[in-house]
Amino acid sequence: MPVPWMLALKVIPWGDVIEHAPAVLKAARKLMDRQNTEPVPESGASADLVAQPLPTFGELKNRLIAAQVQIDRHAQMQAQLTETLAALAEQNAQLVSAVELLRLRTRLLLWGVAALVVAVVGLAWR
């Protein structure tokens, strides 16, 4: 099973991921800030509603309460999704940093192994 994971890790353009991670994080933060300050848009009355018979005050009140509950639920879900997106962007940035550190350590290790191989071969020739 390790082979497909290694293949998947090799296929990912890590340079592009690392390059775009700060932009994704910044966009997620802007989305979260906009979510907290965005006003609720008002909708105008349409011509279709005028042709229908007028509902009673009680029906209107019940519809309004149901609509407000639904709007509140959607606003709460949107806020949670925005927070989740910001958290994922932050985790992505941390992951990219960790991967870059691992790439650096791997290169250093490979150079060390190459130097060790050259040293062993040099000692073997003497």
Rounded average pLDDT over 73-98 = 85
Q: Which of 3-7, 46-50, 117-121 has the highest mean pLDDT?
A: 117-121
- Comparing 13 with 66, which gets the higher pLDDT? 66
CA distance 21 to 24: 5
Residue 4 has pLDDT above 50, yes or no: yes
Residue 23 has pLDDT above 50, yes or no: yes
From the list 26, 45, 42, 22, the residue with the least C-alpha distance to 34 is: 26
Residue 9's pLDDT band (boundaries 50, 70, 90)?
low
From the list 79, 70, 88, the residue with the least C-alpha distance to 35 is: 79
Cα 91-19-109 angle, rounded to 5 deg: 80
Tokens 């998947």 -> residue? 8
pTM check: above 0.75:
no
> What is the percentage of the chain residues whose pLDDT exceeds 70?
79
The pLDDT value given to residue 1:
45
Q: Which CB contacts under 8 angstroms, 24+ apart, belong to 75-83?
A: 78/35, 79/35, 82/28, 82/31, 82/32, 82/35, 83/32
Query: What value does the mean pLDDT of the chain take?
Result: 80
Q: Which residues, at least 6 apart from 62, have a Cβ–Cβ distance to it below 8 Å?
A: none
Paired tokens of 46: 């349409």
Domain ranges of the chain: 1-36
